[in-house]
Structure 1
Amino acid sequence: MNKRKYLLMVTVIGALGGLLFGYDTAVISGAIGFLETKFGLDANLKGWAVSSAILGCIIGVAVAGITADRIGRKKTLLITAFLFAASALGSAIANDFTFFVIARIIGGVGVGAASMLSPLYISEIAPAHKRGTLVSFYQLAIVFGINIVFFFNYKVANFGTEQWNIDTGWRYMLGSELVPALLFFIALFFVPESPRWLSKEGRDEEALGILRSVNTEEKAKEVHKEIKEALNQEKGTLMELFAPGLRRALIVGMFLALFSQITGINAIMYYAPEILKSAGFGVDSALMQTVIIGIINTIFTFIAINYIDKAGRRALLLWGVSGMILCLFGIGLLYQFNLTSGPWLLVLILGFVACFASSLGPIPWVLIAEIFPTKTRGIAMSFSIVILWIGVMLISQFTPVLLEMGESFTFWIFMVNAIILLIFTYKMIPETKGKTLEEIEQMWKK
């Protein structure tokens, strides 16, 4: 197999963690209405049905960084695949709400761990000039996972009556995740360990062999030399990240992680059918339009993949977040003046998703995976992505409550958050395209 095909295969398998991330977090959107009736949930319990998995995500991220630094990226990813499968089976057979929540938390641990490990793994194997594009495949995989499950939910919901969906349909929706989980588990046996982790463990020949498989001989030796020099300069302690220079990297990682979630994307992804139904769309129409949302998400993620190593991370963020602000303002206006019955609500939601998918969707994963030192990258990414999942949990738990307080109010809160992110991006985030991971580390120290 030539270098290009091998690199693509490793990237695709690594990115399957993202597909399961998207699948697991979006599968609940089609099932939540039926679960609400099945278990008699109020607004708070409805939020808990969605956000319970996010609690698991926070736990998963918190332990994944330490585990990945100790036993390796690949072995830890295998554990996440097993957790995905166990959760899919458990949530599908649940007969009471408590059992359902426990199964969702188990799946959340897998999602959280994969959300850190998959982009980390890809970034540590990818050549510098392709890293942005290849790590963006992780976001593309998330989008594909969301699309697949939106379409599957739509088909299941239309297979039987409303009562059949309340009794049985949601079980098929949640249990279907078992298929991609098993695929991910098997595929991981065909990829290597991270060369940077192997170098950290002193297994230099193995590391150099993997670098040769994706680079020329000369480049592989050059990159390996940079890795060893960077490792020799690092103590590998968490306090290193709070030193001047690298402290800014930690702030950037944590801020991007939080604001990628509290600007509204998960409110739309988790509650799109409920939002559209509240605007006057029928159940069938609302579920079909979530499929359209998924398609737009996919198309514009491809645009990000095409331009992230050309235009750069910072430029895409500035343009994309500006577009999100305009769309959120418009959505708030439509609700404020009760103009949601026409096509404009869907148009602005699609515009928001397009702007997010081409910027704030993939870029935080790319930046968080590339801005930290090798010895502490696992635990540093855990720090940032714990913050990300706290943001997801807050949005998941409180969106139903916010929507009851008023749709305009809800979307304008997201707009204010997006304005804060735009200012932060302009002031604080440097351009990292084309630089090796070791060059980025030195850039912060300078």
Structure 2
Amino acid sequence: MADDTPSLLSQIDSVPVPSEVPLLGKHISSLDDAIEECMGSFGWNQFLQALLVSLAWVFDAQQTFISVFAEAAPAWHCTTDQLCNSGTIQQCQLPKTAWAWNQPAETCLVSEWNLECAGPFVTGLPASSFFFGCLMGGIVLATLADSSLGRKNMLVLSCLLMSLTGVLTVFSPNIWVYSALRFVTGFGRATIGTCALVLSTELVGKKWRGEVGILGFFCFTIGFLSLPAMAYLNKDSSWRTLYLWTSIPAIFYSTIVHFMVHESPRWLFVQGRKEEAIKVLKSLSTNINFNFSDDALSMDKETWNVDLYSGLKILWQKRWAFQRLSSVMIAGFGIGMIYYGMPLGLGNLKFNLYLSVTLNALSELPASLITFFLISKLNRKSAVLVFTFVSGVCSILCVVVVDKELQIGMELVSFFSACTAFNVLLIYTLELFPTCIRNSALSMVRQALVLGGVFSPVLVAAGRKDGFWSYGVFGLVIGCCGFIVVCLPETKGGSFCDTIDEQEYKDIKTTVTATLAGCDNGV
């Protein structure tokens, strides 16, 4: 082992070391250190900026889960006892005069467009279109926030596209137009969470990065919880009203973000826009006596970042980046299958649907709280492993137990664990990649989560006859996929890297340090 040390040291010398940054006569070794020096620990301006950005998750959650109420099959009752008592209990086997909806037909699109007897392909088309739109949007828009548009502009564009399409959905004349608009909504929504998370965490120092990242998860929970309240208040109104309630506020929000939120200073520096970055740092600095010299915070734009998909090229070409991305995407796929599949499968359990949906939404709150208060103490890798394992075991137990109270209890623990693993995985991904490709990497992880959600409806449908094909498969998948993170490095307490060279230098330096420590211990 001792013979290997000189070669490792020579590897460090061969990697370009990030140039030091002169700042007030003081040399700082990286952009991360420079921004820490400028912005200080954490100020109210930074908090308000991060909070405003994180509010995008509220509207993201509403559009993601609005189909639970707008596309649900409404309850019905018999109007002719003689026909209903003859043993014909299937709604589609009864004549139209023998039954009626419990609520006005316009309260749900199934009743308004007479889809009660349509096949599963037609009734499931809107939800499938939405998730397929999320996948396509993630692929097409994934790197715009890293390349040409930036975090802020991409966030505004995504929110506007999602909300304006939501308003147009109100005028849908049939299921086909409605499904097409849901596809566009999903396409626009695909990058909201990614941009909001990256932008909010890049506006603060590393000490508060994890806590600020959790703000978005809280806002997503608030958006999820707001839907049952909105649906209840509009239970006798058209489903179109629910779309207006969720879409119009998002349009106003997008306008506010455009005028009041700063672009990420890290992204501006990486793009070579030094003057704009310094201006942002001045406005965010908690040190009112802080001044910048003419040469302060100079950093050249990454030379490879010249086209739309340069981020994906780097993630593919760099072996270390590809290995990290593959691992977190596999873990994300398993988590996404539980995260999106559990709420869809609640109808298969013998429990009140409205209550179980509310409990699932509420379980996201303690998941966010635990992550918020413990993120600075949690080892990222261990946390993902533990929570995915617990989620998998409890999901399988949902198939085994018979008691409905115990069954919903296992389901809630499984969903809670998946939510916590989801939160930690996103923070983990932020820390695994440098600024220049961070948004692209996080976008791909979110697409892996959505891909898990695409398979969930099929498994839920199969689980109506045999629960193993839903909750059993969910548990096996998340347990196996979560184990893949064992091959990733731990990032707890580390600093953000901003360029590829800086990340590679840091990784090799870490390897050498670990090797020397092993030599000292006689390994």
Q: Shorter-chain TM-score: which interval?
A: 0.7 to 0.9
Structure 1 counterpart of 2:194: 116
Larger relative CO (CA 8 A, sep 6+): 1 or 2? 1
Number of residue equivalences: 418
Which of 431, 443, 451 aligns to 1:390? It is: 451
Q: Does 1:247 find its partner at 2:308?
A: no
Work out whether residues 331 and 349 of structure 1, in 8 Å CA contact, stay in contact via their aligned partners in 2.
Answer: yes
The residue matched to 2:190 in structure 1 has which SS?
helix
Structure 1 counterpart of 2:80: none
Q: Mind listing any 5+ residue stretches in structure 1 that lack a counterpart? A: 161-167
Which of 341, 354, 364 aligns to 1:267? It is: 341
CA deviation vs aligned residue, 1:220-260 (integer Å, no higher than 9, x gap) = 98xx989937x558667444323232222222332233222
Compared CA separation, residues 377 and 355, structure 1 to 2 (3 A):
closer
Work out whether residues 257 and 364 of structure 1, in 8 Å CA contact, stay in contact via their aligned partners in 2.
Answer: yes
**1:97 Cα deviation (Å)?**
0.3
Structure 2 counterpart of 1:287: 354
Which of 450, 456, 461 aligns to 1:401? It is: 461
Give the counterpart letter for 1:312 in structure 2: N
Work out whether residues 370 and 437 of structure 1, in 8 Å CA contact, stay in contact via their aligned partners in 2.
Answer: yes
Whole-Å separation in 2 of the counterparts to 1:363 and 1:86: 32
Which of 466, 469, 483 aligns to 1:423? It is: 483
Give identity over the alignment, percent.
18
Structure 1 counterpart of 2:228: 150
| More displaced stretch, 380-389 vs 308-317 | 380-389
CA deviation vs aligned residue, 1:367-409 (integer Å, no higher than 9, x gap) = 233322333334333333333322222224x144322342233
Structure 1 counterpart of 2:512: none
Compared CA separation, residues 65 and 265, structure 1 to 2 (3 A):
closer
Work out whether residues 245 and 445 of structure 1, in 8 Å CA contact, stay in contact via their aligned partners in 2.
Answer: no
Structure 2 counterpart of 1:164: none
The residue matched to 2:188 in structure 1 has which SS?
helix
Structure 2 counterpart of 1:178: 247
Whole-Å separation in 2 of the counterparts to 1:234 and 1:432: 26
Which of 484, 492, 498 aligns to 1:433? It is: 492
Structure 1 counterpart of 2:410: 348
Q: Does 1:61 find its partner at 2:138?
A: yes
Give the counterpart letter for 2:453 in structure 1: V
Tell me the TM-score normalized by structure 2: 0.73
Compared CA separation, residues 155 and 444, structure 1 to 2 (3 A):
farther
The residue matched to 2:464 in structure 1 has which SS?
helix
Whole-Å separation in 2 of the counterparts to 1:32 and 1:271: 15
| More displaced stretch, 50-59 vs 315-324 | 315-324
Work out whether residues 73 and 121 of structure 1, in 8 Å CA contact, stay in contact via their aligned partners in 2.
Answer: yes
Whole-Å separation in 2 of the counterparts to 1:432 and 1:61: 25
Compared CA separation, residues 216 and 4, structure 1 to 2 (3 A):
closer
Whole-Å separation in 2 of the counterparts to 1:270 and 1:31: 14
Work out whether residues 144 and 150 of structure 2, in 8 Å CA contact, stay in contact via their aligned partners in 1.
Answer: yes
Whole-Å separation in 1 of the counterparts to 2:298 and 2:133: 33
CA deviation vs aligned residue, 1:179-202 (integer Å, no higher than 9, x gap) = 441242133121101112211222
Work out whether residues 47 and 400 of structure 1, in 8 Å CA contact, stay in contact via their aligned partners in 2.
Answer: no
Q: Decide which structure has the larger Cα Rg and report it.
A: 2
Structure 1 counterpart of 2:92: none
Q: Of Structure 1 and Structure 2, which has the larger fraction of its residues in helix? A: 1
Q: Superposed, which structure 2 residues align to 1:232-243 within 5 Å? A: 237=310, 238-241=312-315, 242-243=317-318
**1:415 Cα deviation (Å)?**
0.9
Compared CA separation, residues 133 and 185, structure 1 to 2 (3 A):
same
The residue matched to 2:377 in structure 1 has which SS?
coil
Compared CA separation, residues 403 and 10, structure 1 to 2 (3 A):
same
Which of 361, 365, 376 aligns to 1:298? It is: 365
The residue matched to 1:433 in structure 2 has which SS?
coil
Structure 2 counterpart of 1:72: 150
**1:50 Cα deviation (Å)?**
1.1
Structure 1 counterpart of 2:517: none
Q: Superposed, which structure 2 residues align to 1:129-168 within 5 Å? A: 129-157=207-235, 160=236, 168=237
Compared CA separation, residues 438 and 216, structure 1 to 2 (3 A):
farther
Work out whether residues 90 and 100 of structure 1, in 8 Å CA contact, stay in contact via their aligned partners in 2.
Answer: no
Give the counterpart letter for 1:381 in structure 2: L
Structure 2 counterpart of 1:228: 299
Structure 2 counterpart of 1:165: none
Compared CA separation, residues 364 and 219, structure 1 to 2 (3 A):
farther
Give the counterpart letter for 2:341 in structure 1: A
Whole-Å separation in 1 of the counterparts to 2:51 and 2:412: 27
Work out whether residues 433 and 497 of structure 2, in 8 Å CA contact, stay in contact via their aligned partners in 1.
Answer: no
Give the counterpart letter for 2:424 in structure 1: I
CA deviation vs aligned residue, 1:269-291 (integer Å, no higher than 9, x gap) = 3453x234xx2x4xxx4213311
Work out whether residues 132 and 433 of structure 1, in 8 Å CA contact, stay in contact via their aligned partners in 2.
Answer: no
Compared CA separation, residues 154 and 314, structure 1 to 2 (3 A):
farther
CA deviation vs aligned residue, 1:46-69 (integer Å, no higher than 9, x gap) = 332212111221222223233222
Give the counterpart letter for 2:243 in structure 1: L
